[in-house]
Amino acid sequence: LSLVLMGGSKIPEYRRYMMPSLSVTILSLGTCGAFFGADNLAIKITCFVCGVLVFFVMAFFNRQQILEYSGGTEGVLSGDSEFRKATVLLMVTWAPFPCWYALSPEGFGIVTNILLIQIGWAFLNIVSKF
C-alpha cells in the first residue's frame, strides 16, 4: 500500500485496495496450507503454488507501477528513481519468504530445528522491513 501511496496520482486508485488484498491472499494461502495441509500433502502443495502465483501477480503489478510512475522510462532492471528502488527492494526482500516457508515445519518440514527456523524468520523480517 505504501508504494501505491508513494506513487500518488500516477498509480490507479483501485490498487490501494488490490495490492493489500493480494498480500492478505498470500498470507491466507500460507495459513490454509499449514492448517489444512498438515496431513494432506496435495492441499499443502496446492496452497503453496497458488500463493507463489499470487506473488507473481503482485510482482507484475509492482512492475506496472514502476512504468506508470515513470511514464514508461523506467523498468524493474533500469532506472534511478526512489520509487523504482523502493519497489525493487520490496520485491527482492519478499521473494525469500516462500522459500523459507517451504523449508519450515509449516511448509514441507525440510528444516526442523526450531531455533534455526525462528532465526530465519527474524532475519527475513528485519531485512525486509529495515
User: What angle in degrees, to the nearest 10, is found between the helix axes of 15-36 and 41-70?
Assistant: 160
The three cell numbers locating residue 51: 500463493
- Grid coordinates representing 25? 491472499
Residues ≥6 apart with Cβ < 8 Å to 121: 100, 104
Contact between 79 and 62 under an 8 Å Cβ cutoff? The reply is no
Q: Looking at residue 102, what is its pLDDT?
A: 87
CA distance 111 to 24: 25
pLDDT in tens, the chain (130 residues): 577 778 888 888 898 899 999 999 999 998 898 888 778 889 889 999 999 999 999 999 999 999 999 998 998 998 888 989 988 988 888 889 888 988 988 888 899 999 999 999 999 999 887 6
